Amino acid sequence: MAAILDNRKNFVATSLLPIMAVVFVAFLVIGLAMPVLPIHVHDGLGQGTFVVGLVAGSQFVASLISRPWAGHYSDGSGAKLGVIVGLLAAAASGLVYLLSLGFSGSPPSSVAILLLGRGLLGGAESFIITAAVSWGLALVDPGSTGKVIAWVGSAMFAAFAIGAPAGSALYAAHGFAAIAAATAIAPLAALLLVALLPEVDPVQHARASFGKVIGAVWIPGFGSALGSVGFGAVTTFVALLFAYRGWANGWHAYTAYAVAFILARIFFSHLADSIGGAKVALVCALIEAVGQALIWLAVRPEMALAGAALTGFGFSLVYPGFGVEAVRRVPAQSRGLAMGAYTAFLDLAQGLASPALGLIASGARLNVLFLASAITVLCAVFVAWWLMAYPENVEGNPR
């Protein structure tokens, strides 16, 4: 039995590593901009925290809008083509970033062009991650759903962990132009990796409508949305918190978040499959909320770094925990659409939460927004409890 389990683990790892490599390269461009885009908009263009949140959140709005298309395209045309479309859109977003620099003398115009670039990047992210997860799910057995969601996501956050310090260094040395150029070039390198990977045939069976899939996954999707607010608070505002407090190296918070995120998935990604996604989501939402509260209370950078790490550890397993609950509610031929629908809730939360948290920050001390985030994440605990109390199978009947 042990040998069979080891072989199964090795097969899952071998199947997913090439896809994880593509996701890593693709999401490196998002990691590069993560710590510097708020500073570029706030300090370089002289805009307030609401506009910072608006620019950051616009990526998630675009992802939300494109999720149904990404899911249908991945299921109907094949996951490989879905990834290729996403990579091309990501490269185009870098070119739009470069264009925005030509309008730096007119900050409103520059921000408007940045919003377009962020929109393209949001659509790109939607196609890449939806298709990549669908690709992974098609390669492994249904009992490894949680691992696929967790491991592919780990590649994404590893890119964030490396991209954050790299982006800070590029920005310090060459300004936002270097970030824009890297955003245009890196996805093209990922295209070379995709070309070497085998295709997975699209599913030919009838697929459910997006509305029906939404009806099946909305409860775990809502829980994931609430849990994702802590992620958005860290990625959008923690660099500004460090700058306002006079703490150096704000990118350390992104790295602390991402490292804790990855470690949680390395050692605990199997739990959602083995003990249940809702149980994992409940415990980890509590951990994430504690992390947000610690950033709110931080009087030293070490406290904020610890809070970012707890946030990363908690959200790391909140997403696949609720994700396992979502995927098991739909038939196999609609897995790509299910992941698109499920992740759409996260996009909606980010698109709304980032500007809303920015408004809270503009009317109060910056750290107060992390208290608001902690309270929101705590609500995900009650969603997880509901899923545990009222479980459903694919057909919507109690198990």
pLDDT, residue 131, reads 85
What 357-361 contacts at long range (C-beta under 8 Å, 24+ apart), as own/partner pairs, is: 357/53, 357/229, 357/232, 357/233, 357/236, 357/237, 358/48, 358/49, 358/50, 358/51, 358/52, 358/53, 358/54, 358/236, 358/237, 359/49, 359/50, 359/53, 361/49, 361/53, 361/237, 361/240
Cα 50 off chain centre by: 21
List, in order of start, the domains of the chain with CATH numbers: 6-195+209-389 (1.20.1250.20)
DSSP class per residue in 217-252: HHHHHHHHHHHHHHHHHHHHHHHHHHHHHT-S-THH
Q: At what angle do helices 368-389 and 335-363 cross, to 10 degrees?
A: 150
Cα 132 off chain centre by: 13
Give residues with Cβ within 8 angstroms of 329, minimum separation 6.
Answer: 216, 217, 220, 338, 392, 393, 394, 396
Bridge partners for 392 per DSSP = 398
DSSP class per residue in 115-136: HHHHHHHHHHHHHHHHHHHHHH
Q: Which residue has the higher pLDDT, 204 or 129?
A: 129
What would the two tokens of residue 55 be?
Answer: 């620019």
**For residues 159-181, average pLDDT:** 86
| 251 touches 146 (CB < 8 A) | no
Is the full-model pTM beyond 0.75? no
Q: Which residue has the higher pLDDT, 329 or 307?
A: 307
What would the two tokens of residue 239 be?
Answer: 């660099």
Percent of the chain with pLDDT over 70: 87
| 38 touches 52 (CB < 8 A) | yes
pLDDT, residue 279, reads 93
Per-residue burial over 174-203, b if 16 or more Cβ lie within 10 Å, else e, is eebebbbbbbbebbeebbebbeeeeebebb
Sequence-ordered alpha helix ranges (H) in the chain = 2-33, 37-39, 49-77, 79-101, 107-139, 145-174, 176-195, 210-245, 251-268, 271-275, 277-297, 301-327, 335-363, 368-389
pLDDT, residue 3, reads 44
Distance CA 96, CA 121 (A): 10
Single-letter code of the amino acid located at 359: L
pLDDT 10s digits, 198-253: 776 665 555 566 677 777 788 998 999 999 899 888 877 888 888 888 888 777 88
In degrees and rounded to multiples of 5, residue 331 shows phi and psi of -70, 160
**Least confidently predicted of 178-192, 196-210, 225-239, 332-346:** 196-210
Cα dihedral 378/118/197/20 (nearest 10): -30
Single-letter code of the amino acid located at 253: A
pLDDT 10s digits, 353-379: 777 887 887 655 788 899 999 999 999
